[in-house]
Amino acid sequence: MNNYDCVIVGSGPAGFGTAFELLKADPSAAVLILEKAEVSTGGLRNDCKMNFSWPIGFPTGVWQQDQAESYLERVIHFLKPDILAKHNLGIYSRRAARLGVQLMDIRQAHLGTDGGLELIRHLTKSYTDMGGEWATGEEMTGFCDPIDGTDIRIQTTHREIKCKNLVLATGRGGFRFLQSVMDDIGIPYIDHIVDIGVRIELKEERYPIVQDYYDPKFVFPRGVRTFCTNSRSAYVVRERYTNADGQPYFSVNGHAWSEKRAQNGLANFAMLKTVRLTEPLASGQDFAEMLGLQAMLLGGGKPLMQRIGDFRLGKRSKTESFNGDLYDFEPTLKGCTPGDVSLAMPAKILREIWKALKSLDTIIPGVLHPSTIIYYPEIKLYANKPTFRDDFFQVSDNIYMIGDGAGTSRGITAAWASGIRAADGIRASGN
């Protein structure tokens, strides 16, 4: 069958959010999820840390607090997460407040990379049991015909498909694809916000807050924040991206395994600065990609890493910096070049991140131990924020854009919520 009530492109949390909501409301609906990989590739599959409190993951331009909280309740009702307990936050919050830093109190659950894969398997089975259809290893490449508003005809790597509603949930990795779709059907968009920063790796004993609060969210002045903290069995990884001209660059990231795996005594977290380009308005993605390529140039095609001990002395790290007695742990990311982060990072971003790190070291003394490693770059390309024509993320007749790729989320739970919101729109339209 190549004719559906709804085709959802992308099997991340945004796509799942729409799919389950549509099938719950109408079990006879013909719903297809199209996924170019063999399995969902986003955050569900990597670490799967879930935040259930406003405003984490919710871009404030498209969400109000009340609205987000009511959708979050629906996400919780469906996913039934085990919310992690938090302890002893008072002392950290008081120290933070004295420095003008906020420690946000967020409800969290953590499945780990292995737990996330189990969740994907469970979701896939439930979706199929509810009558939903899957097509993995199949990519949407574009539209077939001019869209006439009733039936939408899309082209995939395998076939032509007709549908009444199309939901594009292609995630951050699909942002170029989304751009091409918006260009094709004439939807204006902007992409002027980007997060750029570093990943910090250190001994867990030097960041003991993680035993009290799994992913502590510190918000520093001037758009700097901690992000995606991993501990217990934590690793730094690198992800390969290509820019518009096909040139490759890496962004670092982090993940942890569930508690079933052996602990490695390390923790890692990102320290990110949000950069908003204004006059003259330029593409945040192009800017961030240029920085990614510059880091590749200096790192000989790999990300850079530098020990805090070297950074403080204003000298580059060398292979020896990763062997000496002061430097008391090995980096978990092997494909990285010891170097000088300050040579690669724009001064303004580096200055703000370094200030934030010094504040964090005052709140939790030990963070800036000489052995702590700074990895660069960690780049979060969020969205080509489309112009939405209604409150349900509809961009053109019966075409919806949701999730991280469309700027309606910045995390698993908000992506899921935006999927439910699009499903509400489809149901309200009666199409």
Ligand X SMILES: Cc1cc2nc3c(=O)[nH]c(=O)nc-3n(C[C@H](O)[C@H](O)[C@H](O)COP(=O)(O)OP(=O)(O)OC[C@H]3O[C@@H](n4cnc5c(N)ncnc54)[C@H](O)[C@@H]3O)c2cc1C
Note the residues at the interface with ligand X (CB under 6 A).
Answer: 9-15, 34-37, 40-43, 46-50, 57, 139-140, 169-174, 177, 253, 403-405, 409-412, 415
Q: In angstroms, give the least distance from the CB of 103 to ligand X.
A: 19
Residue with tokens 């903290």: 229
Question: Measured from the CB of residue 8, what is the shortest distance to ligand X in angstroms?
Answer: 9
Tokens representing 342 are 């300050």
Name the residue nearer to ligand X (CB basis): 69 or 139.
Answer: 139
Rounded least distance, CB 336 to ligand X, Å: 16
**57 Rama class: left (phi>0) / alpha (psi -120 to 50) / beta:** left
DSSP for 317-329, written as a single string? --GGGGTSSSS-S
Give 64 or 180: the residue with its C-beta nearer to ligand X: 180
- Min. distance of Cβ 18 from ligand X in angstroms? 9
CA 238 to chain centre: 14
Question: How far is Cα 154 from Cα 151, in angstroms, rounded to an integer?
Answer: 10
Rounded least distance, CB 204 to ligand X, Å: 18
**Which lies closer to ligand X via its Cβ, residue 237 or residue 363?**
237
CB of 166 to ligand X, least distance (A): 12
Beta partners for 250? 240
- Taking the C-alpha atoms of residue 15 and residue 3, their distance in angstroms, rounded to an integer, is 18
Query: HSE (CB half, 13 Å, CA atoms) of 230?
Result: 28
**CB 35, min distance to ligand X, A:** 5
Residues with Cβ < 8 Å from 394, sequence gap 6 or more?
Answer: 388, 400, 422, 425, 429
Tokens representing residue 340 in the block = 């000088």
Q: Are 348 and 140 in contact (CB under 8 A)?
A: no
* Nearest residue (CB) to ligand X, 127 versus 327: 127
> What is the nearest approach in angstroms of ligand X to the Cβ of residue 61?
16
Q: What are phi and psi of 38, to 5 degrees?
A: -80, -20
| 3 state DSSP class of 281 | coil
Q: Measured from the CB of residue 425, what is the shortest distance to ligand X in angstroms? A: 16
| Contacts made by residues 360-364, CB under 8 angstroms, sequence distance 24+ | 360/101, 360/218, 360/226, 360/271, 362/95, 362/99, 363/92, 363/95, 363/96, 363/99, 363/101, 363/218, 364/92, 364/206, 364/207, 364/208, 364/209
